[in-house]
Amino acid sequence: MISPLEKARKDPDSMKAKILRVARRVFGEYGFHGTTTRLIAQETGIDISTLHYHWGDKANLYEAVILDITDDLKSELAEVEKIIHGLPLAKRMEIAIDVVTDYLFSCPEISNLILFRYFGKTRHEGTVDPSTASKPRSGERGKKSRSGSTLSTPRAEAGGSRRVDFHMPEFVSDIARSMRLTESSKDVPVEARMKVLAMMNAIHNFISGEEFFRSLLKLEKDAYVSRVKETLRFILIPAFVSSEGKTRTVMSPSDEDPAGGWLWVNERDH
């Protein structure tokens, strides 16, 4: 049975898709527990019964938002890898920071929801991790290819009792391997994971904290984005490049990435 999310993707102009877009923004602003379906309906300009007709309860809609964001992020990062594959590490990081930062600034709900997960005192518990259940979309960069991406077990049109464990994709192990902090993404040392988390948190915090930081720094939007990229390059590139030779024991600096050695994208989705 086709899921509500797939229906929304196949018809971007439908009411189902419109509700999903609004829900992404609202959940990104307030998190799961701070959001109500009534608020989403109000922001969409519809009554609450229309929302429930298309998506069921709040948990169903939140599940769809997380899966939609997961697929968008995976598709974007896969396209980034196509651009940077085979380049020296410093250049790879420079391009990746630039492109990924622009993308996350255009979709701040991604960083917001990841940070909600990190620091939220309460969470909606579930049983399925969408980072293992959804697959990256195919298509050209910048386009919304809406094929694929279903859960591994059937789901009702709306109001079903299945729930997901709302984990945002982190790709920690695969980034560590691609950065040559480890030889394998299956056995990553804690220190390598910590370095990757530091990089990820730096990016997400600048995105999620834009309003506060811009006010503090008295910067306009464009100037802030430019300074964020400059700061990320200043902090991250030297740190990773200087540690590259110390952590690599198998691959030489001239080696190209092996098949499936994506910088940003989870290996299981290759």
pLDDT at residue 245, rounded to an integer: 57
**Boundaries of domain holding 11:** 4-269
pLDDT at residue 243, rounded to an integer: 67
For the chain, the average pLDDT equals 76
pLDDT at residue 44, rounded to an integer: 97
Percent of the chain scoring above 70 in pLDDT: 68
Spans in the chain with pLDDT lower than 50: 122, 125-169, 247-270
Reported as a single tens digit per residue, the pLDDT across 67-90 is: 998 888 888 887 887 888 888 889
- Number of independent structural domains in the chain: 1
Per the listing, tokens 């200087």 go with 242
pLDDT at residue 258, rounded to an integer: 42
CATH of the domain at 194: 1.10.357.10
pLDDT at residue 212, rounded to an integer: 95
pLDDT at residue 225, rounded to an integer: 97
pLDDT at residue 175, rounded to an integer: 73
